Homo-oligomer: A and B are copies of this chain.
Amino acid sequence: MAKPTSASHESWLPEANLTSADFPLTHLPYGAFEHEGRQRLCVAIGAHLLDLYACANSSLLPPSLIEACQAPFLNPLMALGHRSWTLLRETLTSLLHVDAARDRRQGAEAALHSIVGTALVKPALVPNYTDFYASLHHATRVGRIFRPEQPLLPNYKYVPIGYHGRASSIIPSGMPVIRPIGQSRPSNPNEKPNFHATRSLDYELELALYIGQGNLLGTPISITEADSHLFGISLLNDWSARDIQSWEYQPLGPFLGKNFATTISPWITPMAALEPFRVPATPRPKDDPEPLRYLHSEADRQRGNFNVKLEVLLSTSTMRENRLGPYLLSESNLGDLYWTPAQLITHHTSNGCNLQIGDILATGTISGPAEASGGCLLELTRNGTEPRLLPTGETRAFLADGDEIIFRGSCEAPSQPRIGLGECRAMILPARG
């Protein structure tokens, strides 16, 4: 059974103290919700959200934070920088702590809403979206399907491979995804390509790294400074139409196979809440080269990654009709990645490229070393050739209309309350007419 956490992290909101809570007092992830037709910022606590706009209006926040907390997006708060992030987090922690002064607690109580029944929306404006390919396991297994003679390209262990995704089609969790139409490779090279609804719609399990502080064009961010540019993380589903992608992607990379939708989860876990879950960078396999010097720092090697457990679940229409819960497709961990978040930031800016406040750097599909831990169906079903049998007797090579994909994430460490990243979910709707 769920038990209360230790007193020092105790909130006056009892549900936040259950060990099963995603959002204990030590978490306080940022989000945004719709209130009377407007968008407001909030943090999650227990099963509730605390309305930051209302807190700002009730003199519960320091004057320097009021304007940023009244904004509809997190970008102004991000722009204020670390001291302000720490100040806000300390203020909110003491406000929700069991020892909070009575009048402040009453003020906060008036700004609480149940998360259930609230419309959560995108909490940040995302000027640029970059997608990396940081899982060696994913890259190797995907490579084995398409290039069995050379699964891993010679650049992989030196270059944190990435490309620019589409910022305009980033959508909030819960918004359905319409099955895209597009060209795919003709079965006979002398025929015209097909043009129809994708037959190999896939998800990709990723984490979004939100940039809270940018850099000037022409000014790289060193590996020792990279961490300080991060604001927080959330779950991200980089939907992929494998047949469209495989026909279009040479020589300039993925385009229409990806840019029809990218789903992000509503809660951004601040880096401060992740500190207790730091782990060493994944040790490189014995014969692998060391990273080039600009990508190496001893501190990053020793504690540059995070223990974030991830799950992918599938709910089909048949499961829902039969009142069956979603089915666990796979599990993996952010710690499985070959490159750390700091290495991704440093590589991205090594040529002088400027990151902007609110940018998302996605990790790429997070797959573990085991075959069963693949973060997409392309891996789990070997490009659809080995369909997965579901408990309903259904099979899936790729996603069917009506399927809902749900990502969950959580962090655990000794003597620390567990935190959960919430959910990133979306249902597939049939292609348009």
Report A's interface with B, CB cutoff 8 A.
127-128, 131, 133, 143, 153-155, 158-159, 161-169, 171, 178, 180-183, 185, 189, 192-193, 195, 217-218, 220, 241, 244, 247-257, 259-261, 289, 292-294, 347-348, 350-356, 359, 432
Contact = CB atoms under 8 A, between A and B. Distances in A.
Given A217-B261, A260-B353, A352-B260, A255 B164 contact: yes
Contacts of A128: 166-168
A131 B164 CA distance: 11
A249 B251 contact: yes
Number of copies: 2
A250 B254 CA distance: 11
Contacts of A162: 252, 255
Nearest to A355: B168
Contacts of A241: 351
B189 A154 contact: yes
* Most B C-beta atoms less than 10 A away, residue of A169, A171, A254: A169
B217 A248 contact: no
Contact of A292 (B155, B193, B244, B293): B193
A164 B260 CA distance: 13
10 contacts: A128-B166, A143-B251, A155-B185, A164-B164, A168-B354, A180-B352, A181-B220, A181-B351, A252-B254, A256-B347
Given A155-B248, A192-B292, A252-B254, 4 more contacts: A128-B167, A164-B166, A180-B351, A259-B351
A127 to B, nearest CB: 6
A352 B252 contact: no
Nearest to A254: B252
Contacts of A255: 161-164
B353 A166 contact: yes
A257 B161 CA distance: 12
A171 B254 CA distance: 25
Contacts of A217: 168-169, 171, 260-261
A153 B250 contact: yes
Contacts of A252: 131, 133, 161-163, 249, 253-254
Contacts of A169: 217, 353-354
